[in-house]
Structure 1
Amino acid sequence: MRWYEYLGIFVMLYPGVMAVYWTVSGILYFIFFENRAEDPDFDYSGRNSVPMVSVLIPCYNEEDNLDQSIPHLLKLNYPNYELVFINDGSRDNTLKIIRRWELADEKIVALTQENSGKAAAMNHGLLKAHGEYVVGIDGDAVLDYYALDYIVQALEANPMLGAVTGNPRVRNRSTVLGKLQVAEFSSIIGLIKRSQSIMGTLFTVSGVIVGLRKEIIAKMGGWSTNMITDDIDVSWKIQTGGYNIAYEPRALCWVLMPETLRGLYKQRLRWAQGGAEVILKYAAQVWRLRNFRLWPLYLEYLITLTWAYLMFAFMAIGLYQGIRYGTFDFHPFEVASVVTLVMFTIQFSVSIAIDNRYEKGLWRYFTSCIWYPYAFWLINSLTLVHGLPRAVFRNKNKKAVWVSPDRGVQ
């Protein structure tokens, strides 16, 4: 075989190899950690006090979602919490709604500021928070009623944990794209978090549900207002500071996701750009010996980034060879594709079997979504290639403000 055919086999097999790695390590995490986790004591009657939790909810143009999400947030099982809503210069009726709810329930605190971005809103809420722990969620989020119990249990059990991220679940499933993302969060994202948790590290917490020690995040300077993805940045800020991050799959959070291709691509491009910004920002710190546990995460990102660029290079070479010489042999890549599909199928089966204990009925997505890992890797490669130059040339002195996201068909 020619050199570019070896390159093509690497391009074709890499996603499948990663699927096997995530599957095996995810199974190990489930057997030795997740399956042995103790249930929290939900009976608080015999305790003199429980740590207070401040739930920080930054809001930008959330008028369509707040009256649906707030009633659920007021029914959480955890007995000692406050809901701190931060209006970030919304142009709709968001501020009026949170102030109306503030008058209706003493748990709710309404704050407002000029439009400065999500990170600035989180920092504003942090200054006003009374809790020992803070939990960050989005304005459209609906927490499982026991989510805070699981997060607090994890933080109380391990003083070296700086943050605990929960398990996002997709609320809107009225379109094919919405249903595909249900499968994605189980078969890919959840399994990746389990795999990374073996080392006590995560590439990123989920910004839609993350619990943090207030003392630690305040010591770290809060959230960085100039990073396009505050959740990825705060993850690396905490971990390079010497603390670990844990994944708590029982802490469920129901969120709205994009249901248009344009909205999905914009979301994933922001994630890719934010990941690249963080990799560049922490390049010097991560290679210090005390941060050795972050080396696998960093190397995996670099290899995946290289794969993305090589994939497009291989496609260009193959097209050139086929048009000019007519000598391109597709047989090795057909074999690699079959092998990769088998690996994806195993990954899909294992992940759904694990996550089905938290959300029943996931198996109904198996046959219709088994091909989605191919789409995931395609989107991933496009956004990585597109996001890196955006991260390199973005003005880091400018605040990262947000625009209203695609929340799907509701």
Structure 2
Amino acid sequence: MDRKLLISKLDQAIKNTVGDDGRNHYLIKRIKQKKELLKSDKKYIERILEIKIDKISDDDSSNISNDKTKQFFPNLNLAKCTTCNNEIKLEDKSIRDNHKWYHSKCFQKSIIRKHSTPISETIENRKKKSGKDPIQFLLTGIIFVFLITTVYFILGHISMIAMGLGGAITIYHITGASGKIFSKNVKGKKAPSVFLLFLLGSPFLIATMIAYEGYTLLESPVRIILLWAMTISFWSTMLFVPMAVLSKYREDIQEDVKSYPKISIIIPAFNEEKVIKNTIEGLLETKYPKKEIIFVDDGSTDKTLEIASEFKDQIKVLHKENGGKASALNYGLVYSSGEIIVIVDADTIIGRNSLKEIVKGFEIDEHVAAVAGNIKVRNRVNWITKCQALEYITGIQIVRRAFDIFGSITIVPGALGAFKKSLLTEAGAYGKETIVEDFDQTIKLLKAGLVTQGSSKATAYTEAPNSFRDFFAQRKRWYRGNIQVLKRHSDALTNPRFGYLQRLSLPYLFLGMVITPIIGYTALANAILGIILGDWLYVLQISLIFTVVHYLMSALAIRIDDEDPKLLWYAGFLVFGFKQIVDAMLLKAIIEHLQKKRATWTSAKRIGV
């Protein structure tokens, strides 16, 4: 495949909004640099351009005729305009609407003919309609119907009561979300949230009901633990699924950014020579009129500073002695002049329109202090990276979207996160007390009564660990750091003045980091015991319900994010396999914390792809 010809086709895809805009620009850059493409990149190009790529060569394509172009790309030049039915050539300006192609002029004439309202109003109405995806609503309906019918007809009345209590807590939170989402600083008696009390007390309630039905001493623990896990799953699904669809709808109908405040992009880096050039080039290419890029070298011992200095005419290049990521961010803040601060990791390549999209989040409410970007795994090359890719998608598109509705997203990621500078500085500098500075800083903002939102259109592509050794190193830091933050801000678990941070977000994080891994392995042991005792049918039913629900939720997340449907094949591993690895690492982090072992910074090796 000719290099120049492939670049021209990707340029055409960008003009016609085919595929992911940010990824298209990144691939063009890699092809120009004559770097090898990943298999996933080649499959992506083949999918959006409908071609087959074997090898990319440097053959001269300047004299290739239009006929030869069609020989290479038989489908691209054969698209016809829906209005005039003439072929749309590569050099023609075109628009794709509702899976149909139009010449730009024909499309505008078609709108004028069909509608008496102005074109601008028609386009705005079309945007609003785009927020309604029937497939999303269908999947949501299937999830709810499946849960209710299986619990009632298969698991029986006790399970229905336990699930019903979880549903009541869900309705309680959804009703509360109708008011203002920022903290009102209302005083009240200190106590854990209703949600946390319910989850911690539910096994005792379930045990009482099971004992009433006359199960033996050996059978009871099996059903208690499995029903406890099922209750948590039921509650999460009942709350997060409708909130995720609502969040997606709200984001789709949101108007374009009305003003462009100046933004300062800070890139903290330590020994990132393999990836830093791509990150800086990607930021320079992003579409935003008022931006400054501040690179902070945190005492690197490799060529990171040397590579960054090549761009010193376009960005601010700062250097300091090694002091950690938090100190590098604080150092960059001193030199920033923007109203909005955007933090980007040194291994992250952001989408071409991500800066504009992430700024839109601040126009929702004056109390919005931070907006989290949509982090995607780019190097989906093996089992471990594909499981991480799906984990990111379900976590962001289901769980985080629910927190977005409540204005209490707990982690604005360091890979791509934006902050209102005035509010960020009021909350205090990035602290060195933990090794997960993004989590700690976000909780500080929420405790100040502010709002954190998310943007799934502000995309950022990051390198995920592609080996178990690197995966363990990354997650060790994450989980030890998360426990540090939970301990540091444990007062928020019982103080009602912190609003949804106390009522929902922090209890859920406590559940996920401490309770869930314990339940996971306890449930696994009880399932094995249940099979040995002959209660295998009940264990099988519970396992199937867990698996089917997770597949349906993964399908919904992939649909919301317009992601690769092939990732759905890996949904089962997030129930059996990958999940147990994660739970084991969480338990290890808890044990190390209880043993008062020192938490150290560990990270994965850079691949540089």
For the superposition of Structure 1 and Structure 2, which TM-score range results when normalised by the shorter chain? 0.7 to 0.9
TM-score, normalised by the number of residues in structure 2: 0.60
- Deviation per CA, 1:131-183, whole angstroms, max 9, x where unpaired? 11110011111111111111222224422011001101112122232223222
User: Bigger shift: 345-354 or 272-281?
Assistant: 272-281
Structure 1 residue aligned with 2:285, among 75, 78, 99? 75
Please tell me whether the aligned partners of residues 69 and 141 of structure 1 are also in contact (alpha carbons under 8 angstroms). Answer: yes
User: Deviation per CA, 1:216-235, whole angstroms, max 9, x where unpaired?
Assistant: 11122221112111111111
Count, aligned residues: 388
Structure 1's 381 and 11: CA in aligned 2 closer, same or farther, altered over 3 A?
Answer: farther
Structure 2 counterparts to residues 213-362 of structure 1, below 5 A? 213-294=420-501, 295-304=503-512, 305-315=514-524, 327=533, 329-356=535-562, 359=563, 362=564
For structure 2, the residue ranges without an aligned partner over 5 or more in a row are 1-214
After TM superposition, give the deviation of residue 369 of structure 1 in Å.
1.6
Which SS does the other structure have where 1:205 is aligned?
coil
Decide whether aligned partners of structure 1 residues 225 and 392 sit closer, same or farther in structure 2, where only a CA change above 3 A counts.
farther
Which SS does the other structure have where 1:24 is aligned? helix
Task: Provide the residue aligned with 2:223 in structure 1.
Answer: 6
Of the structure 1 ranges 233-242 and 260-269, higher mean CA displacement relative to structure 2 is found in 260-269
TM-score (norm 1): 0.87
**Deviation of the 1:384 alpha carbon:** 2.3
For each residue in 1:106-132, what CA deviation from the matched residue of structure 2 results, as whole angstroms up to 9, or x when unmatched? 3x1111122211111111111111111
Are 2:35 and 1:35 equivalent residues in the alignment? Answer: no
Distance of aligned partners of 1:342 and 1:64 in 2 relative to their CA distance in 1, 3 Å threshold: same
1:259–1:409 contact (8 Å) kept in structure 2: no
Contact 2:377 2:464 in 1 (8 A): yes
Listed one character per residue, the Cα deviations across residues 283-339 of structure 1 (whole Å, up to 9, x for unaligned) are 1144322212112122223333223223334555666898xxx53633322110101
Q: Find the structure with the greater CA-based Rg.
A: 2
Question: Residue 499 of structure 2: SS of its match in structure 1?
Answer: helix
Aligned to 1:138: 345
- The C-alpha deviation readout for 1:209-260, integer Å capped at 9, x for no partner, is 0000111111222211121111111110100011110001111111111111
Mapped to 2, the partners of 1:408 and 1:333 lie a distance apart of 42
Return the alpha-carbon distance in structure 2 between the equivalents of residues 82 and 393 of structure 1: 45
Determine if the alignment matches structure 1 residue 406 to structure 2 residue 605: yes
CA distance in structure 2 between the aligned counterparts of 1:352 and 1:381, rounded to whole angstroms: 23
Counterpart CA distance in 1 for 2:492 and 2:262 is 33
1:186 maps to which residue? 393
Aligned-residue RMSD, C-alpha: 2.4
1:23 aligns with 2:241: yes
Map 1:50-69 onto structure 2 (within 5 A). Answer: 50-69=260-279
State whether residues 414 and 438 of structure 2, in contact with CA within 8 Å, keep that contact through their aligned partners in structure 1: yes
Q: Aligned partners of 1:279 and 1:268: how far apart in 2? A: 16
Alignment check: 8 A CA contact 2:375 2:461 kept: yes
Counterpart amino acid of 2:605? D
The one-letter code sitting in structure 2 at the alignment partner of 1:202 is: I
Q: 1:409 to 1:277 in 2, by over 3 A?
A: same
Structure 1 distance, partners of 2:536, 2:475, is 30
State the alpha-carbon separation in 2 of the partners of residues 392 and 237 from structure 1: 24
Structure 1 residue identity aligned to 2:468: L
Q: Secondary structure at the match of 2:311?
A: helix
Once the two structures are TM-superposed, the CA of residue 73 in structure 1 deviates from its matched residue by 1.1
Partner of 2:299: 89
Q: Against the structure 1 CA distance between its residues 279 and 170, is the aligned structure 2 distance closer, same or farther, given a 3 Å change threshold?
A: same
Q: Give the SS at the match of 1:74.
A: helix
Percent identical among aligned pairs is 25
Gaps of 5+ in 1: 42-46
* CA shift in 2, pair 1:180/1:314, >3 Å: closer
AA aligned opposite 2:604: P
1:273 CA displacement: 1.9
User: What code does the residue aligned with 1:340 have?
Assistant: F
Taking the aligned partners of 2:233 and 2:578, their CA distance within structure 1 comes to: 12
Q: Which residue of 2 aligns with 1:169?
A: 376
Moved more, 304-313 or 244-253: 304-313
Deviation at 1:75, TM superposition (A): 1.2
CA–CA distance in 2 between the matches of 1:20 and 1:14?
10
For 2:406 and 2:590, the matched residues in 1 are separated by: 26
Which residue of structure 2 aligns with residue 373 of structure 1? 574
For the residue of structure 2 that corresponds to 1:224, the secondary structure is: coil
Distance 2:327 2:595 in 1: 22
| CA distance, structure 2, for counterparts of residue 336 and residue 19 of structure 1 | 15
* Contact 2:370/2:420 (<8 A) preserved: yes
Q: In 2, are the aligned partners of 1:26 and 1:195 still within 8 Å (CA)? A: yes
CA–CA distance in structure 2, aligned partners of residues 98 and 87 of structure 1: 9
Aligned to 1:199: 406
Point out the more displaced range, 108-117 or 277-286: 277-286
Q: Is the 8 A contact 1:61 1:404 kept in 2?
A: no
